[in-house]
Amino acid sequence: MFPALETELKQETLPDPYEDFMYRHLQYYGYFKAQRASLPNSATNQHVWKNNSRHLLNSSLGERDELVADHLQKEKLFSDSLMLNSPLLKSRQLLHNDFGDLSPRLREPPDLFAFFSGNGPLQAPRWPVECEVIKENVHHIEWVPPQPEYFYQPTGNERLPEIVGEERGIVVYQLDSVPTEGSYFTSSRVGGRRGIIKEVAVRLQGPEDNTLLFESRFESGNLQKAVRVNTYEYELTLRTDLYTDKHTQWFYFRVQNTRKDATYRFTIVNLLKPKSLYTIGMKPLMYSQLDASTHSIGWRREGNEIKYYKNNSDDGQQPFYCLTWTVQFPHDQDTCYFAHFYPYTYTDLQCYLLTIVNNPVQSQFCKLRTLCRSLAGNTVYLLTITNPSRTPKEAAAKKAVVLSARVHPGESNGSWVMKGFLDFILSNSPDAQLLRDIFIFKVVPMLNPDGVIVGNYRCSLAGRDLNRHYKTILKESFPCIWYTRNMIKRVLEEREVLLYCDFHGHSRKNNIFLYGCNNNDRKYWLHERVFPLMLSKNAPDTFSFHSCNFKVQKSKEGTGRVVMWRMGILNSYTIESTFGGSTLGSKRDMHFTTEDLKSLGYHVCDTLLDFCDPDQTKFAQCLAELEELLQQEIHKKFHELGDDMDLETGWSDISLSDIESSTSGSDSSLSDGLPVHLLNIADELSQKKICKKKKKKSLQTRKQRNDKHQKNNLMQKSKLTEDAQSQLNRRNEGTSLNRSKMTALILTKNKERMQREKPEYTLSRPSKRSTDTSQEPAPALKPHWSRNRYPATKRGHDALTEYPSLHIYTYP
């Protein structure tokens, strides 16, 4: 039909692109056996790839040290389209080999749920393409110190080192090209930046050179620069959260080439918080590789001459604060790590989840699924934990409990509390089995895996605090919290959510406490405070009820706690565990260990059983105690102001939000808003949302308009009558509060009352609980509350010894 075109095609020497592609594809998968000279031997390529240790995760996952980063498997290419032999064929599906050449095979198809099997590899962490990552696998053993680790007691003679900087010091470690404010995340890959890993530390000049070798380019690591200012003295600069210019708090780095008997001084020079637990005795954590391998000693609190102070170097920008401490290393030529708190990485979580998947018993009642993919493509896992129900009616009657952790990546405390909760709820304890019978647990153990991987303190790769964006409509930019909120919405449509807990860490207050939301419904007045009061009685040495706060501030409207509360979850909490330790009971002035944090996870389960006990005596006792405490607080404040108030008649009508102080939360509690590159997207989505709303129908007839006008007039008259009547009542009674005065009042917690003995439970628990989860108290029950602890035999706690992973001696 077209002779000229046919002649041209016959002269074309290039192979047909589709045919060439299919030959390669079929040969790789073993379906095409013919030999073609033009095709490379794909079997050879496959053999080389499968035996390259740099690009595989070892299939034997029993030993954590054998895991190696996978640089090829499931790799997503974001660079320009690649070419094969034919310039007509372009594809993003083909992979590179070690030398950067194209490997003629398709990448493995992605798993539907990204769910690892018991014999398969873990998903290797994905990093932003700007980040360099070393190939070494960093792993630490778990260890609990046999002796208490007490707070540091200042002597008053601590030295405040003068900040020298690069001008008079020697830079011995510095990261290049770290993305900060003004840039934004574009793409990610396993292993981070392509190419050869640069040497960012100095080279030793010989065996006598005692310069420390620093490194932080590993999972959760954070150190930007190290300057040597004296023989054994170093100034350290932390890296801000990626794509921001703030949030320097979390540090985690490695030093090598140590000397045993020398006293080293480290000074972090760019911290941003004016207050810190380091001012009241908190010590940094240190880990010795030689001690771990020879004596099985893990992380421990170390440091002397600890001082937290303001950096006097004024560069016209925001003020910085310094943390300085001295330390002596236990061995020569050792590899040691320093950290703000016990690290818990994304790989640690995956290894833990793998043990659940491989456990034939636990996998029957714990289902692991993918909630979503993070901005960098890392899997956000969702666990559903419940025992199988015998009937559909029984399944529908179960209430839900939602727990999450690590929305702030530098608050690794949350992961240790979550681990303790999972250890217990997945155990064979009778209490754990009962909880699984009556509840469905939805657990998101790591909400912000991207931030955890890169070593951020507070933000995701969007450069924003996820715990201020739970109301976001930007699913692609904030997928972790968007899908979490959507999952909870779906659960609420099916059943009641009794409890929502988000586990966090706190950098300025000791002990464990929580933030809740005051309830305005008079039917459930003070009910939101019952669970934390019970928790304080179950964990009196670690949990402080008097540090809890229930005020909903405007700056916290975007937090998970407030958003879930507004969605209808009455008991919606942020549980804060300190980076430091306890000031209560038998653990007074002691640092928390990982075991202390894991025990809180157990106590959450224990308190949940108390909270839902069909015998509502304890619930009623807690309500009575809460009313008494609140009465005393209000009376005390009015007495200080010189006012008299009839508390018997009018005190319960006071708004709790007016009398409660603001939370002492993070210095960065205000949201930064959306990044610039997301503003237009948010506006477009908002406009689309508005357009979808149905327009109100206009009133067509005169009769409709008249009816509406009369209705409005009647409502106005009714409102005026009610206002006049209320003014008259206020004039006659004279006992109601002056609202302008109450708005100005901010009641602080009574420190004397905090030190007073708290009443505790004495009632014996029935040997077997009912599965009724109703939480309505019996109003007439107000029994005496004794000061004795629960008996140790409560609910058959001796049965817990069957589960070896829990250290029962730390629990009551």
- Residue 752, helix vs strand vs coil: helix
Q: How many residues does the chain have?
A: 812
CA–CA distance, 579 with 298 (Å, rounded to integer):
17
Look at residues 552, 538, 542, 605 and name the one whose alpha carbon lies nearest to residue 576.
542
Kind plus residue range of the DSSP H or E element containing 515: strand 512-515
CA 294 to chain centre: 33
Q: Which of 75, 411, 576, 595 is catalytic?
A: 576
- Tell me, rounded to whole angstroms, the distance of Cα 225 from its chain centroid: 26
Summary count for the chain: helices (H), strands (E)? 21, 26
Kind plus residue range of the DSSP H or E element containing 307: strand 304-310
Q: Is 505 helix (H, G, I), strand (E, B) or coil?
A: strand
Q: Tell me how far apart the alpha carbons of residues 233 and 226 are, in angstroms, rounded to a whole number.
A: 10
Q: CA distances (Å), 438 to each of 430, 774, 775, in order?
A: 13, 11, 13
Identity (one letter) of the amino acid at 683? D
136 carries an active-site annotation: no
Signed CA dihedral, 212, 217, 221, 224: sign only: positive
- Token pair, residue 444, equals 């998101």
In angstroms, the CA 502 to CA 506 distance is: 13
- Four-point Cα dihedral 136, 132, 267, 317, nearest 10: -160
Which tokens go with 334? 């050792």
The CA-based diameter of the chain, rounded to the nearest angstrom, is 107
| Helices 530-538 and 617-640, packing angle to 10 deg | 100
Over 584-643, what HEC string results? CHHHECEECCHHHHHHHHHHHHHHHHHHCCCCCHHHHHHHHHHHHHHHHHHHHHHHHCCC
- Strands 439-444 and 379-385 come out as antiparallel
For residue 72, count CB atoms less than 10 angstroms from its CB and return exposed for 0-12, middle for 13-18, buried for 19 or more.
buried
CA 488 centroid distance within chain: 17
- Which amino acid does the sequence have at 700? Q
Separation of first and last alpha carbons in the chain: 91
SS3 of 234-246: the string is EEEECCCCCCCCC
Report how far Cα 314 is from the mean position of its chain's Cα atoms: 34
- Chain Cα centroid distance, residue 123: 20
Please give the single-letter amino acid code of residue 550: F
3-state DSSP assignment of residue 522: helix
64: left (phi over 0), alpha (psi -120 to 50) or beta: alpha
Query: Measured on CA atoms in the order 330, 336, 338, 344, is the torsion positive or negative?
Result: negative
Which residues are marked as active site? 576
